[in-house]
Amino acid sequence: MSEQPTPEAGGVHVAGQVTFLVCVADDGHSEVAARFAALRARNSGGHVVLLHVMQPPEFQHWAAVGELMRQETREEAELLLQGMAAKVTEVTGAAPSTAVREGGIGDEILGHIAENDAINLLVVGAAPPDQGRGSLISWLAGQLAGQLNIPLVVVPGSLSDQQLQDLT
């Protein structure tokens, strides 16, 4: 029996297997997006990949301080992904793949997709309008969408668990 390619190994798409790439941050709407992807993956026999993009530290005056900041940010990202992965595993019964990348968010999302042919859908959570956010969504819609070769799914961060269940 041959081993199936996996998204984290740069695998290739296998017909009938859907892989959801979820961009996560430390916010509620990322949790809603991850839950949406987990429910869809569970119901379709798919897989979830969680991606967190770290912004490079702005403080570059002393290299050692900049490196310490980078390490602390990476540790926080790993903890965030562990927590989110546990929630996805509860829903799907399978551990998601996780990745941390550093750089500009759009470039890193595109890079991760380009390196992982098995990824079929990009899932992002949208902040409720009253939070005054949405820079990622605006950027994705305006800049990235034309460069994507996979569908972009924007999940409203205000969806209830029942609404998620109904949609998936």
Distance CA 12, CA 47 (A): 13
Q: Model's pTM, two decimal places? A: 0.82
Q: 6-40: per-residue pLDDT in tens?
A: 444 455 555 567 999 999 998 889 999 999 999 99
Q: Which amino acid is at 137?
A: I
Q: What is the pLDDT of residues 72-113, one digit of tens each?
A: 888 999 999 999 999 999 999 999 999 999 998 888 999 999
d(CA 7, CA 10): 5
Asked if 125 and 84 count as a contact pair (C-beta separation under 8 A), the reply is: no
- Reduced to 3 states (helix: H, G, I; strand: E, B; else coil), residue 112 is helix
Q: Which H, E and C letters describe 36-89, residue by residue?
A: HHHHHHHHHCCEEEEEEEECCCCCCCCHHHHHHHHHHHHHHHHHHHHHHHHHHH
- In a 13 Å sphere around the CA of 161, the CA atoms on its Cβ side amount to 1
Q: How far apart are CA 103 and CA 77, in angstroms?
A: 14
